[in-house]
Structure 1
């Protein structure tokens, strides 16, 4: 619980502070006087005035974000020196005000790009995107996808790791005839997927499952070779990877175990590969022994005297300065498109509003990802940063997007909206935000109960 709260506070502190930093920097570029930049809310624990404008930089008691206060003649109780009135926010052109308000959400998008670029620069192991035998009668099966087909590209995206494949599918949801390029034994071919009926929903299975796609995660690896066992007599060594059994390639761990069991005492021709990458063929003949069935009972079963695990089919992905930055841009675009489609599906009723999450769920995810390592936590921060940016761009009065809507109307009309219209919009916006917040919180508590 403490870890979750701490990770949540750090996340909000970073994301909202960076959001406000966007407002601050563009306000300064536009000549607006910034009075206060606070890290956190509530009582000020520390403050210092810096710069030509003597901007007050504060650390406040509640580290759940931050705020920027600008010179503004409309703000109640604020006395503006006539000599500085030209630097008030409300005196700026509509285009400058638009830029200052838009800078916050844009800063969150840029922060996500930076986070994803850092992960790309540092490098990380990923599962290779390799297909397994698809679910019968599924779309993947109808396209005759086979085990060990290597994913090359999906849509217009080159696919290097499994995460790339996942985001590429999410990005193209709602589209038809999306080309998937596969490599089968050195020969490339293309099949087209229809993603129009794929749902991004808490109650739905994953897009992979909806398409009938199974993924192949790696070859079986043999270890703990028993002395005098059939495996030892056949020359099998610890760490040998099973490439095939009697010509059957790409068997899973369970399939290999079942195959040995079903063969009885009939010899099996295995092609194995040692840790140096050298492949060889061995003939092993199982023998029937009394073994534990996993429930505490002894049963007679054909065995070869080994333990079987899996050798993950990993690839190390690391990018240079430019490619890493472009990877950050690409991943952020994918998340933006996916988030937009999820929101549209909720609005149209295609997806449940149960997908809307609030602070309790986000805090839970923050704690879990923080415990899983800095990469996972940084990825979580990037996703939340994108969500925060997009949320603030919604054209709802009270959010940044609502102010941008006012400014767009002002540009089209050639003059600002009447004060009464903006005040009415703020009240409507407040009701919408409160309703969305209440829905998100109720979803959070339902998840906790379940």
Structure 2
């Protein structure tokens, strides 16, 4: 029930705020037209009217296609003589009135972005990592272009294309994705200063469906602890600001590593933690995690598997029920308790709902089918009561300039042969709905609001492009009329406008095709990997999708 309510809440959030971005844009046009005394035939949110009413001479409409909206103002249309809906002629609007009216829509989007951006500035948004002025390589793929160019584990990246940075990991990834041509990394290795120059290439492991140049290395993300007052961590000697280096001798490269070792795999046994404090390593031994409050645990059999069908066993946890029953890497799981496994979520849920009773797995090993009976074991989550939440407080101007920078680099990449960014990576209404939904569902409301700020800024900037049918096109036509003291001939403007309308519709259909493919991929795609979140005996399976927003996490294989 809680999951259903969460999904409903996310849906309401998406529809309301996306609709509000459209509404505020059209409201700008509407109010400016009222101010300048122009005739307004209709104010519509959505296309293809399903409901409406008339008030003050204006028809207010709701459309069944929630992909935008419009204010019907015949006097700013340069393709013919303006007329009312009844066919009565209207005086042509002055160029200044048309400019004010056209510009007001984008202006209201930008003002809304600054208003909402102020809320984000005050409250802050959760980050995937802290902001860093250097990035230490924790792992690197040996066949990658970065490795071939000379980048190595433990190298510390201090500059990107000759410039210093202060960014989160995802912001650094965006620098790589938006780069055109070669990238030069300034690196510190021991006492030496080096430069690593390479050409970013498609990373099939991280983004197989997008074919983008995601880095082939993982950073060592500082795991900074802030123990709660009176907690086990504080009593053991951990202090605010301590950085975790290892847990029981295993390197901790990210918060996911720490959570996995501390909360999911410790089993409540004493742990030895190596921390970095004021540049010095400090060993804290025999910290005993305690069970997470109100956590009833979840049943597992100890297999790490792929979400790709047929489900393949990637690894076995030593000492687990799967290990005792003789399961091996490479086994394919085809049925559980006589029922075919047609999706990973069904397999996971069957184990959880076993309540510790024996289950029978049918596996395929090479060309043979075997039945294995095993008893799931109750797994509980543990904690030492520390926090490591990173919150950023970007001011509205920073948010606005970030959108401008990303828009410029996206356009630059689209028209460059030396970039992996293509037109198919852009998003239309379907993609925007999907992005907002995923951000709120996996992240938080504040992260969702941050995305809304980016969308409303982008909507305002995009509409200022000097293209017929967009607000920027209307402004350019009015400016020409002001300078030339005459309008462009309707015989010229009309066919050009029709061509651009056709191009715009075609482009939207093109983008919507890839947006729809991503939605299909989310639910039915051959992801090969999944991110499983298990709490309080409940599980939800989420396909791994790197959205490049602030809540992204490193992909993991599911475990049961």
The alpha-carbon distance between structure 1 residues 111 and 345, as it changes in their structure 2 partners (threshold 3 A), is farther
Partner of 2:180: 174
Which residue, out of 272, 289, 292, partners 2:319?
A: 292
Q: After alignment, is 421-430 or 133-142 more displaced?
A: 133-142
* Matches of 2:61 and 2:253, distance apart in 1: 58
What TM-score, normalized by structure 1, do the two folds share?
0.64
Match of 1:68 in 2: 71
For residues 290-439 of structure 1, the aligned pairs below 5 Å read 291-293=318-320, 295-297=322-324, 314=388, 316-319=390-393, 324-345=395-416, 351-372=421-442, 373-407=444-478, 409-410=480-481, 413-439=484-510
**C-alpha distance 13-219 of structure 1, shift in aligned 2 (>3 A):** closer
Q: Is the 8 A contact 2:28 2:104 kept in 1?
A: yes
Match in the other structure for 1:262: none
> Once the 2 structures are TM-superposed, how far is the Cα of residue 14 of structure 1 from its aligned partner?
0.9
Tell me whether 1:9 sits opposite 2:33 in the alignment: no
Q: 1:40 aligns with which of 39, 45, 61?
A: 45
- Consecutive unaligned residues of structure 2, counting only runs of 5 or more, are 1-6, 226-234, 262-270, 287-316, 327-379, 526-560
Which structure features the higher share of helix residues? 1
CA shift in 2, pair 1:254/1:237, >3 Å: same
TM-score (norm 2): 0.54
Q: Which residue in the other structure is 1:159 paired with?
A: 166
CA distance in 2, matches of 1:368, 1:246: 35
CA offset digits 1:335-393 (Å, max 9, x no partner): 322432354359x9965543344443433333333434312322332343344345434
Q: CA deviation at 1:271?
A: 5.9
Judging changes above 3 Å, is the alpha-carbon distance between structure 1 residues 245 and 405 closer, same or farther for their aligned structure 2 residues?
same
| Separation (CA, whole Å) in 2 of partners of 1:215 and 1:196 | 17
- For the residues of structure 1 that align with 2:387 and 2:176, how far apart are their CA atoms? 21
The aligned length equals 393
Query: 1:18 is matched with which residue?
Result: 24
Tell me how far 1:409 sits from its aligned partner: 5.0
| 2:487 match: secondary structure | coil
Q: Is contact 1:220–1:310 with CA below 8 Å preserved after alignment?
A: no
Deviations 1:32-83 (A, max 9, x none): 436467362536656655xxxxx8594746593543344739333358999x
SS at match of 2:408: helix
Q: 1:324 to 1:191 in 2, by over 3 A?
A: farther
Runs of 4+ with >6 A deviation: 1-4, 79-82, 152-155, 182-185, 187-190, 195-199, 235-241, 245-249, 251-255, 306-313
Residue 133 of structure 1: SS of its match in structure 2?
strand
Which of residues 213, 218, 237 in structure 2 aligns to 1:214?
218
Q: How has the CA–CA distance of structure 1 residues 170 and 315 changed in structure 2, closer, same or farther, with 3 Å as cutoff?
A: farther
Structure 1 residues 432 and 63: CA distance shift in structure 2, 3 A: closer
User: Structure 1 residue 270: deviation in Å?
Assistant: 6.2
Which residue matches 1:228? none
